[in-house]
Amino acid sequence: MPGLMERYRERLPFCADDPVVSLGEGTTPLVHAPHLSELVDSEVWLKLEGLNPTGSFKDRGMTCAVSAAVREGAKAVICASTGNTAASAAAYAARGGLTCAVIVPEGKIAQGKLAQALMHGARVIALRGNFDQALTLVRALTDRQPIALVNSVNRFRLEGQKTAAFEIIEQLETLDALCIPVGNAGNITAYWKGFAELDVAPRLFGFQAEGAAPLVLGKRVDQPETVASAIRIGNPARWEEAMEAMTASRGMVRAVSDAEILSAYRLLAAREGVFCEPASAASVAGLLRYGADGAARVACVLTGHGLKDPETALHQAGGVIPCEPNLTAVEEAVLG
């Protein structure tokens, strides 16, 4: 499959001879979830965005943002990140021959994401502060330095990410509601743009973690906290657009607890065979807590792969069974 810039070129702000930095992103599976469908009494689908090249939906926006940076003659890109944007920016920068710096909250990003950013050769800066402070600082820095900012304040990010909405409608034709985790609020804004371009309007149900729920509270959260480190964000950059999207779609923004997120995370892995990262499970946690509200067909966006965050997984899952190397012991171990 070609990357999404080639698939959707006529709907993106790029011309045929513009440079394309691609890793074959997009065209991710949308799978039916039989167990969840039964639980909420509607038809539930899971959009597996963790199957993008670096393991998250960020690649959709990053192929466009980095391609635009190359087109503009940029030599370097930078972002603030809770982890996935950093991994994606680092990979696409490597691919496009640009240097990359990422600023992440010290000690608060999942190990897989850190490994990716480092392996792709990014300069990884661990900020003694949170994501919101990191974003404020990179915005100020890019005002002073000729470095392209590839956070979702960059409009090309949203252009790329809107293509996920196209794919869902291509496959299902109609959709009543979309459940989606909300952090910096770029993705929900992008989906709404994508749906609007197709003239469809599913209800947008956005979910934030209870300890990092500025949109739900209607005010900034200065010290956001949640086990879902990807959405540990207290002052989303796309605040107004996201609220407008939810209002225009007759949707909602609501909070889910860390316990609910982890329970949905385990259920997805154990019952649906889908391993996503904790932040992604917020979409399903919200659906389980608040119900489908009459929507007959629902899609939940699973934004990142479970392998991103092995520590949380190992902490949540059952332990391994030690065993001596003989048949009796193995038999006992296997049968329990």
- String of DSSP letters for 73-89: T-SEEEEE-SSHHHHHH
The one-character DSSP state at 142 is H
Q: How far is the CB of 329 from ligand AN7 (least distance, A)?
A: 40
The one-character DSSP state at 18 is S
Terminal alpha carbon distance of the chain: 45
Cβ neighbors of 234 (< 8 A, separation 6 or more) are 130, 131, 132, 212, 214, 220, 221, 222, 223, 224
**Restricting to residues 51-90, which ones interact with ligand AN7 according to CB under 6 A?**
56, 81-85
Q: Are strands 177-181 and 297-302 parallel, antiparallel or unpaired?
A: parallel
Give φ, ψ of 136 to 5 degrees. Answer: -60, -45
Query: Hey, what are 19's tokens?
Result: 């440079």
Q: Is 235 in the site for ligand AN7 (CB under 6 A)?
A: no
Query: Hey, what are 228's tokens?
Result: 């879902």
Q: How far is the CB of 15 from ligand AN7 (least distance, A)?
A: 27
C-alpha 317/C-alpha 270 separation (Å) is 10
Which residue of 54, 130, 152, 163 would you call a contact of ligand AN7, by CB under 6 A?
152
Q: How far is the CB of 238 from ligand AN7 (least distance, A)?
A: 7
Q: Is 134 in the site for ligand AN7 (CB under 6 A)?
A: no
With CB under 6 A as the rule, give the number of residues binding ligand AN7. Answer: 21
Q: How far is the CB of 144 from ligand AN7 (least distance, A)?
A: 22
Minimum CB distance to ligand AN7 smaller for 69 or for 281: 281
Minimum CB distance to ligand AN7 smaller for 22 or for 283: 283
**Restricting to residues 159-218, which ones interact with ligand AN7 according to CB under 6 A?**
181-187
Q: How far is the CB of 44 from ligand AN7 (least distance, A)?
A: 18
If DSSP codes are grouped into helix, strand and coil, which group holds residue 304? Answer: strand
Which residue of 46, 303, 306, 312 would you call a contact of ligand AN7, by CB under 6 A?
303
Query: Hey, what are 25's tokens?
Result: 């992103």
Contact region with ligand AN7 (CB under 6 A), list: 2-10, 263-271, 273-281, 324-332: 273-281
Residues that bind ligand AN7 (CB under 6 A): 56, 81-85, 152, 181-187, 230-231, 277, 279-280, 303-304
